[in-house]
Amino acid sequence: LQVLYGIEHLLLTHSHMDHIALLPMLCDIKNIGRASPLTVYALPETIEVLRKHIFNWHIWPDFAQIPDADAPVLRWHPIQPGDVLSIENYRVRVLPATHIVPGVGFAVHANDGANEAFAFQGDSGRCPGFWDALAQEDVDLLIVESAFSNAEESLALLTLHLSPALLAAELTSYKGRAQLVVTHAKPGEELMVEEQLTALIGERLPRMLRSGEIIKVVRRPAQER
């Protein structure tokens, strides 16, 4: 619980349920353990949808007014692709995405002498702008989605997600160093998606993101700098 009390900044990629599910409960927890507000960074379109459909007093209270509007639990911080956010000891670049609803990804660099960096793609179908922006960021690790297996590629195209084959095609235009950590596979399909990715882009050492995994931004070994 102390970990949840301590969260002060939350970056949202888009408004879909699987990407906002923690936020309403986190606001409630923050209100109970009230020490610092929660700042939520999101596109204006995402903020509008969440205020209208979640934090509307019907589905959940408006925590931007609780306990009072001058010192609320929840503060919204609108962002745009291309923005560079300075969040405590981190520099965060907002990356573009192409999804059913407006979405973004993020590249995260530490300012404390650590020179590793990582990016989170969010949900996205084919998006040349994302890979162009990512190439400027020199990240070591990319958390990327493959929501579907190759057999479900038509569904991936319809819903603006990726499959292993679509991700491999996207990567042909990306020359950066990033190792791939893959997420968003359907429950039970993780192993199949990982095998398909290894067959297509094994040189990127793709592996699935594990529940509870902690990714630390550290110094690179000297020979890589």
Q: Please, what is the angle between helix 190-201 and helix 164-171, to 10°?
A: 30
Residue nearer to Zn ion on the CB measure, 182 or 217: 182
Q: How many residues bind Zn ion (CB under 5 A)?
A: 3
Residue nearer to Zn ion on the CB measure, 64 or 209: 209
CB atoms within 10 A of CB 111: 12
CA–CA distance, 200 with 219 (Å, rounded to integer):
30
Question: In the Cβ-directed half-sphere of 66, how many Cα atoms lie within 13 Å?
Answer: 17
Binding region for Zn ion (CB under 5 A) out of 10-18, 56-64, 86-94, 215-223: 10-18
Select the residue interacting with Zn ion from 116, 123, 140, 170 (CB under 5 A): 123
Minimum Å gap between C-beta 162 and Zn ion is 11
CA–CA distance, 91 with 89 (Å, rounded to integer):
7
Both structure tokens of 24? 């309403």
Minimum Å gap between C-beta 202 and Zn ion is 25
CA–CA distance, 176 with 119 (Å, rounded to integer):
12
Amino acid at the residue 76? W
Binding to Zn ion, residues 146-205 (CB under 5 A): none
Both structure tokens of 1? 């619980």
Minimum Å gap between C-beta 219 and Zn ion is 32
**113 CB burial (10 A radius; 0-12, 13-18, 19+):** exposed
Minimum Å gap between C-beta 14 and Zn ion is 6
Minimum Å gap between C-beta 199 and Zn ion is 24
Provide the sign of the torsion angle of the four alpha carbons 11, 13, 14, 17, taken in this order.
negative
Is residue 18 part of the contact set for Zn ion (CB under 5 A)? yes
Residue nearer to Zn ion on the CB measure, 61 or 105: 105
Residue nearer to Zn ion on the CB measure, 123 or 170: 123
Minimum Å gap between C-beta 187 and Zn ion is 13
Is residue 140 part of the contact set for Zn ion (CB under 5 A)? no
Residue nearer to Zn ion on the CB measure, 34 or 210: 210
Select the residue interacting with Zn ion from 9, 16, 77, 91 (CB under 5 A): 16
Both structure tokens of 130? 């994302």
Which residues contribute to the site for Zn ion (CB under 5 A)?
A: 16, 18, 123
